[in-house]
Structure formats: structure tokens, C-alpha cells
Amino acid sequence: MTTIRCGLILTVALAGVNGYSADTNSPEQIAACLAAKALTNSSAMEIITDLTTEIGPRLDGSEAEKRAADWAKKRLEQIGFDKVWIETFPLEHGWVRGIEKAEVIGPSPQPLILTALGGSVPTPDDGIEAEIALFKTYDELLAMPAGSLKGKIAVVTQRMVRAQDGAGYHFAGKIRAAGPSEAARRGAVAYLLRSLGTDGRRVPHTGGTHYAEDAPRIPAAALSASDAEQLERLFDKCAPVKVKLVLTPRVLGPVTSQNVIGEIKGCEKPDEIVLLGAHLDSWDLGTGAIDDGAGVAIVTAASKLIHDLPQRPKRTIRVVLYGSEETGLHGGIAYAKAHQAELEHLVIVAEPDLGQGPIYKMDTGVANPDEPSLKRILTALTPLGVLSGNNESHGSSDVGPLSEAHVPVVEFDMDATDYFDLHHTPEDTLDKIQPSRINQSTAVYAVFAYLAAELDGDYRAPAPKSVK
Amino acid sequence: MTTIRCGLILTVALAGVNGYSADTNSPEQIAACLAAKALTNSSAMEIITDLTTEIGPRLDGSEAEKRAADWAKKRLEQIGFDKVWIETFPLEHGWVRGIEKAEVIGPSPQPLILTALGGSVPTPDDGIEAEIALFKTYDELLAMPAGSLKGKIAVVTQRMVRAQDGAGYHFAGKIRAAGPSEAARRGAVAYLLRSLGTDGRRVPHTGGTHYAEDAPRIPAAALSASDAEQLERLFDKCAPVKVKLVLTPRVLGPVTSQNVIGEIKGCEKPDEIVLLGAHLDSWDLGTGAIDDGAGVAIVTAASKLIHDLPQRPKRTIRVVLYGSEETGLHGGIAYAKAHQAELEHLVIVAEPDLGQGPIYKMDTGVANPDEPSLKRILTALTPLGVLSGNNESHGSSDVGPLSEAHVPVVEFDMDATDYFDLHHTPEDTLDKIQPSRINQSTAVYAVFAYLAAELDGDYRAPAPKSVK
């Protein structure tokens, strides 16, 4: 009978009548209403459309990221959040992309398509010309002795594996993060990798890299999948392959970024907070639709649905739209630091940052996975197609630093089968967003946030011993 | 029993025994052998792999196109063509791409991805900044009075329709070819169109444009589908949208291009020629795999299969790998002119230039569509999945000028459903080629060429009157 009662609630709510009574509707019934509404509602699509159209790309520390923050603050206010504010934090330095050109000089002259890794140092203005040393696995590069790549451009063409849970990215991450310094230690003058991506196209994927303190900083860029395969074919002919590389990114001085925070106050326990995160910054190449405009739209639209209920849940729902995630979780770290004194008020936290969904599994990182309300939440999510996962989560992205500080986390696993076809590329644009997928994710977050705010679960207490 | 006899023929051929007799195998049986071999043979894949890897992009008039011609001459010689030669012809001017950058300046600053149309004049070095006038159909632009676009950048975002026979390209062609001059006549300072393509991605499609004599020459470029839709959304907000455009292509002085020609002499009527064409040049953005490396591979591999038969067909098979197709059929026109005296020796001509296939229909453009050998050819192609089409063909691409000179043509319609997802983009690379598709097309061309060279059909004679 949930559906019928749901219709009643919504009718009453829409009519603005105060006859609604929480007593007559269980939390699960209200959650089912939220889910039903999320699946057909246009809020998430409207939010992501406006963010990616009116702002577009929003690299951290940039003017565009500040415009995005102002846009977000206004949007949360329009929705009716009780309190909305911006918290600014410093970034050691900004970074902007420049020219990025590469070509095979010999033996088969032709252009290559690549893009600089975030944070890469530039080449000299007239570029670097050098023979390549190509490795089809990262381990082959690591097996090379010091000095063995002297004067060469190291190229790693290891493929990233497609996996529903994004495990391929996890395993390949070090090729981008640590590869440039590993190549430099062995004498390389520049570093190229096959883009961390699951597509087979002519589109390079950017992403941050991290220079080690004890290695020379060499220019680093990601080849498109097609270009990496072209280099493999040329290299396999066993004649020396010479490449010219021009990268002119610039490191800026200190800049600032910011987190945008909004609250829907709880009606009984306003000091207890269910926190939903997402990050507002994006890489510069696309318009940040799947990464992480989708997350922004999901948590904002889910909160709006809860805000629009005739009666608020007991606890406060706080949305944090983080800045500067892409270049090192700076927003998440700044938030955890600035809010250290109130971390104990955070009941549970969650963040979508793996695309538009659908969400297919619920993991937790809590002290007491047997807490009965978790089972009630999972049961309420079952009709949406959500499986039970494990209790090994450390939280995704920006809520990771909170998990490290022992704040309970939930992680809703999004189907990432096609996520890494688009991730960090110019193709990360609005036209890739499918209403049915982003709405399912919004429904999951709405149900979760509502029940976590309503059900009085305590996820910090140690798990009760089971009596046999 | 075709299969068994086919095995016998091939065995005999491989053993190098001279006991083969054409009398014991019908032309249809030999054609079936050719088809069976083409479907599993690796020749077409080897040819397209080497061309797109060792040469890569080969814009007409470029050094790379000349390298491609040398490569092709050597390849035909290696296969064992009896005679291979290169015919050079002049091009009025060359053209090379330069910087191509665009951005929305206001009200929502963000970059746009586009590419210059082939032949476009440059903007000033510091670009053009202007308000856009956006038209969702080309007819809306045409309906504007003279002078009404003064100082504006005209943008046409009409979508190209996906169709198996490529009809969408045919209908949309004028938007690219004539649009710049139509916009200029109305006062526009630059012209942008939504790429002529069926994909919805962030990848612009280049292609030639044609400036009319009586209109100012304005810079012209193609937006990616995603960027065209982004501009539509911004334009629909009804605030003026201002765009900055920088294009720095250069028009070079007179250059040359060339056709590569190879012959497998007929054993009985060497002066009667079945001509198979394809074009060797490609746009500069990709490596010319589907356009038209595939065509080159199909006709070359089909000819190789016929060459490798124990006995030659009666007529000569001539392969022409044309230069400079993309910027105006220059190779096809030069060939028709240079060979005017021998056009009557051309029995029939065909050219694949719509991707890798599969081929699904056979059209003709002949004086006597009831010629019995055409029916025999079609019957032999039926097992490969080829339908009977019409007699309205004027030949595709480079053989068009021959059709105009009343040379009989066959046109094998290739399934172009996904061709315009890749056409004229950086995505036109080897990894898009599927052996099963290119091999089917090779089988069709091998069967056609063999039977046309063996069956004595005369496609120039007037159709016999049917007696009722």
C-alpha cells in the first residue's frame, strides 16, 4: 500500500495542507515516496545542465571554480537550504594547461594526440626531441636499472582494465601518479603513458601526477589509446622511434579554492549531521558532467526532495560541495581540518564521485555494521537495485579524510563500467548524462539521507556482541 | 560442390602445378573460391595497417601524400602487378591547418572545440571577437536578408541524420560547402557549423568548403556536436553570446599530387580494362583508415587474390589509387583527362569510398542493365549478402568523372550507418577497422573484378529491347 499512501502524502504536500502526520506514515513509506519522486523528477538534470552550461570547466583555483561556487551558493539558497556559506582555503599553487603537441619525427613522421598531466612541468619552448623507450607494462619500466633511460622519452602503454567497480583505475593509478618520477630516476627526459581510460579512442585523459622529492621533475603527458597503440606498432618494427614533445603548462603562484556548504536543519536533533559530499571542481578539458557535476546534482537534488517534504527529518542534512578535489583532495582535507571540533557531530557521511550511476551496492565503514537502521536503509534501497556490500569502505574522495578521523561512512558503489571511457577527457560533457541513471542515484541518496537523518542510528558505538 | 572444387583449385595453385584448367572450373566456381579466401585472408588488414602506421595522415599535396604514393607503388610491385607507375598532376594550391581555438567570452566563459574547414582562410592572428547569430537549420540562415548578419559570427547547428546509405551527408553537404559564402553575403565575419557527423561527441569533423566568387571569404570551422549543443543552450537563454575565434591555416603556393596505377594484364584481352579505384590521400586529423585506407586495402587485396590465381582472367585489372580526392576530386579529374584517349577501353569501373563495409547492395550506371553478366555477378555476390539496387549510379568519388564521360560504372553500397561517426575526424584510425567487415568488402570486389574481367560483358551497348 506504500504507493497509495505515497500519493496521499505528496498530494497533501503539494496542496500545502498541514494535515500531514509522521505518525501515519512510517519512515520507510516516506522514503519510498522520495524514491518514486526522484525517479521521475527533473531536478538532478536541471542542476547538472545549468552547472555544465553556465559555468563549464572549473579547474581548481581558477576564476571559473569561484564562479561555480557562487552559482552553487545561489542554487542552494534558491532551493531553500536554511543556511548556506562558503569556506575559502589556500592552495600552494595553481596550474594551467598550455600548448600540448607531439609528433613522431622518424621513421614515420606523424602527429600524436596527448594531453599534459595535471601539475606537469613544461618542456623547453622549442620542445624535447628524443628516442622513445617503450614499455608495455609498468613493471618493465620499474625493472630498468638507474641511468638506463638516459636521454630518452619513457613511454608506458599498459592498458587499464574495464571493471564495474572501477578496480582497473585503482590498479593503474600508480602509472600516472608515480611514473614520471620513476622514469626520471632512470634518466628519462620526459614521460608518456597510455591514458588511464577504458575507451579505445583518439581522446587523451588527463589527471594529476605527483613528483617525488628525490627525482628530477620531467614533463609528463597521457597519449590517447589510439596513439599509444600506434607507437607500439612503430616501436615493434625495431627501428629507433624519435618523438618531439612540446608542453607549455604554467605553475601559478598561491591561489585559493573554496567549499560551499548548505544545511537543512533537523527538526529534533539539529546538531546531529548527516553529511553528503560531492566536488564542484573539474578538470579543464571537459565540462565536468560525470566528474563530478553528477555528484553535485545527485546530492543537491536528493536534499531538495527531502527539503520539500511536509515534515523535516530529525537530524540535520549538510551538503558540502568541495573545491579542489582533482589535484589532491585539498577541499576534503581543508574541511576535515576546519571542522575538527565538530567531527563527533557527524552521524554518517557519503559522497558520489564515480559518475552518474546507477548505484548497485552499499558498502559501509562503521564501527557497528549490525546497527539495525543500516539493515532498514538497505531494505529500503533494495527496490532500487542496491546490493549489500562490505564494511571495508574508507569513504570515496573528499569524505576520505573524515573516514580517517573515524567518522562513519557509507559508500554507494556506482556502476563504473563506462565511466572511464569519459573520465578526465574533453568528452566529459552534459550529453553523456542519462536521466534514468542520475535519477536512480538521486533516489538512493534521498532514501539514504532521509532514513539516516530520521532513524536515530548510532554508527560509532561498538557492534553489540551477538548472543547465541 | 563448389567448396570441394575450390579446395582443389587452391591446392593446385599452392603446389605450383600447371595442371589447372579453366575449363574444369566455371567462372562462378573460381569467384566463390576468391570470396572464401578473401573472408579469411589477412591481406586487407595488412595493407591498411601498414599504410596507416607507416605513413599516417596524408593530406593532398603534402610530403606525406608523396610518401604514401611511393609506399603504394612499392606495395603493388611486391604483390606482383605487371606494371606500376605514378602520374603526377598539379594542384593550384596546398593548404595546411594552423592553430584553431575558440571560446565563449560571455556570458559563460568556456572553451569550444572546433576544427577549420579545409581551404578556410585564417582569422587575424589575434582572432575575431563577435556576437553569434545561431540558426538551428540552414534554411533559417538562407532566409536572412543581405546585411542582416553584419559583424556577427553565423552558427548553423543543423543535425546530420544517420542513414545506412549515407543520405544524411548528401543532404547536409551544402551546409559545409556553401554555408560560408551564404553567411558572408549576409554580412557575417565568420562561419561555424555543427560538424557533419552522426556522433554526439566532442570531436569535430573537418571537410572541404567552397568559396563562391561573388562573396567575401570568411574563416569557417566545424564545432563538435557537444559544443554545438552547448552553444544552442547558451543562445536559448536569450542573452547575447560572444565568441572569440582564432584560426591560422595557411594557403600554400602551387603543389603537386599524384595517382598510383597498377595493372594485372588480362590473358586474352589485355586492352580491355576493369578499373578499381580508391583514394590514397586523407584528411590530416586522423590516419585515413576508414577514409580511404579501407578502399585502398579492399581493391589492392582483391586484386592480389586475383593475381594469385593459377590462371589470369581474360581482361586487364587496373587499380588506380588516386591522390587529392578530399579537396575536390583532383586525382579523379586528372586521371579522366590524362586517359581520355583510352576511355573506350574501360569496360567498367568501381570505387569503394564509404568505409570498411559491409557491402549490402549493387547499383549500376550502365547502358544495358539487362546485360546477362550483371545478373551472373549479382548472383555470385548473393551469398556475401549483396542486394540488387538500381541503375542510377554515377559512380562514387574518383570514378565520377569517368561516369560523366559515359564509362560504365558499378557502385557497391557500403553500410555507412556508423561511418559518419568517424569520418574526417582524428578518430579515423586503424583501431576502428574490423577484419570481418573489410574482408567482406574485399570478397565482393574480388568476385566482381574477376567476373567482370572474365565474362565478356559489354556494358556500353544499348539495352536490347525485350520481346513480349
Per-residue pLDDT tens for A369-409? 999 999 999 999 999 999 999 999 999 899 999 999 999 99
Class of the CATH-defined domain A95-251: alpha beta
Residue A13 has pLDDT above 70, yes or no: no
Return d(Cα B391, Cα B396) in angstroms, integer: 13
Residue B2 has a pLDDT of 30
Residue B4 has pLDDT above 50, yes or no: no
The pLDDT of residue A21: 47
**Per-residue pLDDT at B120 exceeds 60:** yes
- Test B55 with A108 for CB contact under 8 angstroms: yes
Residue B462 has pLDDT above 90, yes or no: no
Kindly state the average pLDDT of the residues A83-112.
Answer: 96
The CB-side HSE value for B14 (13 A sphere, CA atoms) comes to: 7
Residues above pLDDT 70, as percent of chain B:
94
Pick from A202, A230, A430: which is nearest to B53 by CB? A230
Q: How far apart are CA B282 and CA A86, in angstroms?
A: 53
Note whether A234 contacts B: Cβ–Cβ < 8 A. yes
pLDDT at B9 over 90: no
Task: Delimit the domains of chain B by residue range.
Answer: 42-93+254-454, 95-251
Mean pLDDT of the region B28-57? 97
Which pLDDT score is estimated for A462?
72
Instruction: Round to whole Å and give the CA distance between A154 and A173.
Output: 17
CATH class of A42-93+254-454: alpha beta
Q: Is the CB of B233 inside 8 Å of chain A's CB atoms?
A: yes
Q: Do A202 and B425 touch (CB under 8 A)?
A: yes
CA pair distance B403, B401, nearest whole angstrom: 5
If we measure between CA atoms, which residue out of B120, B117, B57 comes closest to residue B283? B57
Contact A226 B427 (CB under 8 A): yes
pLDDT surpassing 60 at residue A446:
yes
Q: What are phi and psi of A390, to 5 degrees?
A: -110, 180
**B238 pLDDT tier (thresholds 50, 70, 90):** confident
For B201: left if phi > 0, alpha if psi spans -120 to 50, otherwise beta; the answer is: beta
Q: What is the mean pLDDT of residues B447-457?
A: 97
Distance CA B258, CA B311 (A): 32
**B185 touches A at CB < 8 Å:** no
Q: Is A374 exposed, middle or buried (0-12, 13-18, 19+ CB in 10 A)?
A: buried
- pLDDT(A3) > 70: no
Flag whether pLDDT at B445 surpasses 80.
yes
Percentage of residues in chain B having pLDDT higher than 90: 91
Check whether B466 has a pLDDT greater than 60.
no
Smallest CA–CA distance, residue B268 to chain A, in Å, is 42
Task: Provide the shortest C-alpha distance from residue B427 to chain A (in Å).
Answer: 5
- Mean local confidence (pLDDT), B233-255: 95
| Residue-level pLDDT at A14 | 40
**Mean pLDDT confidence for B290-313:** 97
Considering only the beta carbons, identify the residue of A57, A200, A287 that sits closest to B431: A200
Mean pLDDT of the B420-441 span: 98
What ipTM score was computed for the predicted complex, to two decimals? 0.84
Query: pLDDT, tens digit, for every residue of A176-215?
Result: 999 999 999 999 999 999 999 999 899 999 999 999 999 9
Mean pLDDT of B121-127: 97
What is residue B461's predicted lDDT score, i.e. its pLDDT? Answer: 76
What is the C-alpha separation between A272 and A461, in angstroms, rounded? 15
Sign of CA dihedral B72, B78, B81, B87: positive
Question: In this complex, do B108 and A56 lie within 8 Å of one another by their Cβ atoms?
Answer: yes
Please check whether residue B55 touches A, CB under 8 A: yes
Q: Do B109 and A56 touch (CB under 8 A)?
A: yes
Q: Where is average pLDDT lowest: A320-324, B75-79, B457-461?
A: B457-461
Q: What is the mean pLDDT of residues A359-363?
A: 97
- Residues from chain B contacting residue A430 (CB–CB below 8 Å): 226, 229-230
Inter-chain contact A110–B287, Cβ cutoff 8 Å?
A: yes
How many C-beta neighbours within 10 Å does residue A405 have? 14
Share of chain A above pLDDT 90, in %: 92
**pLDDT over 60 at A18, yes or no:** no
Q: How confident is the model at residue B396 (pLDDT cuts 50, 70, 90)?
A: confident
**Is the omega angle on the peptide bond into residue B292 within 30 degrees of 0, that is, cis?**
yes
Q: What is the pLDDT of residues A256-313, one digit of tens each?
A: 999 999 999 999 999 999 999 999 999 999 999 999 999 999 999 999 999 999 999 9
Q: What is the number of other CB atoms lying within 10 angstroms of the CB of residue B258? A: 27
